[in-house]
A and B are shown apart, each in its own frame.
Chain A
Amino acid sequence: MLFFRAMHKTATLREDFKIHAEASKLFEFRERLYRICTDEGIPPQPARLMVLAVDEAISNIIEHAKLPENDNKIGVSVEIDEHQLVVRISDRGKPFDPRPIRREPDGCAYPRRGFGLYLIQKIVNQIDYERTSDGSNMLKLTKSID
């Protein structure tokens, strides 16, 4: 994979966009992110998994962040170089640090919800979170593609 990218693309790709905080828009977003990844030479499986991780993070924002009505878009920044795929997700909702939470599905208790963060943590190599001085959440998901 690294060899493939090194042969074909050497510069870092960076793409920034905003999406509406609506579950009905997630399909288009997933398609777009997958296309960006695979166009950059990332194989389908890691691309699919990263799309899933980002989809889960954005779904959590839509469901729990209580975004202000006048500022309810979610910012997404994708950065790909030879070694890693980084997706930064920003929103203006209430603070939420996803890093300490991890719940594995429990075959005895059968809870219905709450697996999204577990999936994110299984898929990516690093999760960084920052509450910025202007009152935004900034979540950074990093997946190695070496």
Chain B
Amino acid sequence: MAGLKVHHEENRDGVVYFELEGLLDPHNFEVLEALFEKHFAAEVYRFVIDLRRLQYVSSSGAGVFIGAVGTCQDNDGNIILVQPSQEVKEIFELLGVYQIFPVLQTKLQAVDYFAKKVQ
């Protein structure tokens, strides 16, 4: 059945990693919104999100990322998007999301990104 799944959520040294699978649309974007809010409440503002298995993002889903990245960057954090699928890439390109988020090809690159910020 279609929906959104969050996999492998873990907090390592203040950076939260998770993977999204499925469809992020008006029916379920609040799941992602709640996930960010949970981590913001714990004062975590650094995220690495694997988008390889996310097949669809509507504007309401992209809006969650765009809304959350402001809070992250205001608190010396960021949201790094890793390896968006072709379908998601097309939508993000239309929205100009790549001007707002670092988009990297591997989780290792994302780890380096935050490690360099700490140095």
Contacts and interface: CB of A to CB of B under 8 A. Distances in A.
Given A105-B100, A110-B70, A52 B27 contact: no
A128 interface: no
B37 interface: no
B58 A56 contact: yes
- B contact face: mostly helix, strand, loop, or mixed: helix
Contacts of A104: 96
A95 B49 CA distance: 39
Contact of B26 (A26, A111, A115, A123): A26
Contact of B27 (A24, A45, A48, A115): A24
A23 B23 contact: no
A59 B58 contact: yes
Contact of A115 (B23, B56, B62): B62
A26 B27 contact: yes
Given A49-B90, A59-B58, A115-B63, A23 B26 contact: yes
Nearest to B72: A110
A99 to B, nearest CB: 17
Interface residues of B, number: 25
Contacts of A55: 25, 58
Nearest to A31: B2
A114 B87 CA distance: 21
Interface residues of A, number: 29
B115 interface: no
B58 A52 contact: yes
B99 interface: yes
Contact of B64 (A52, A63, A112): A112
Interface of B: 2, 23, 25-27, 56, 58-60, 62-64, 66-67, 69-70, 87, 90-91, 94-97, 99-100
Interface of A: 23-24, 26-27, 30, 45, 48-49, 52, 55-56, 59, 62-63, 104-105, 107, 109-116, 118-119, 122-123
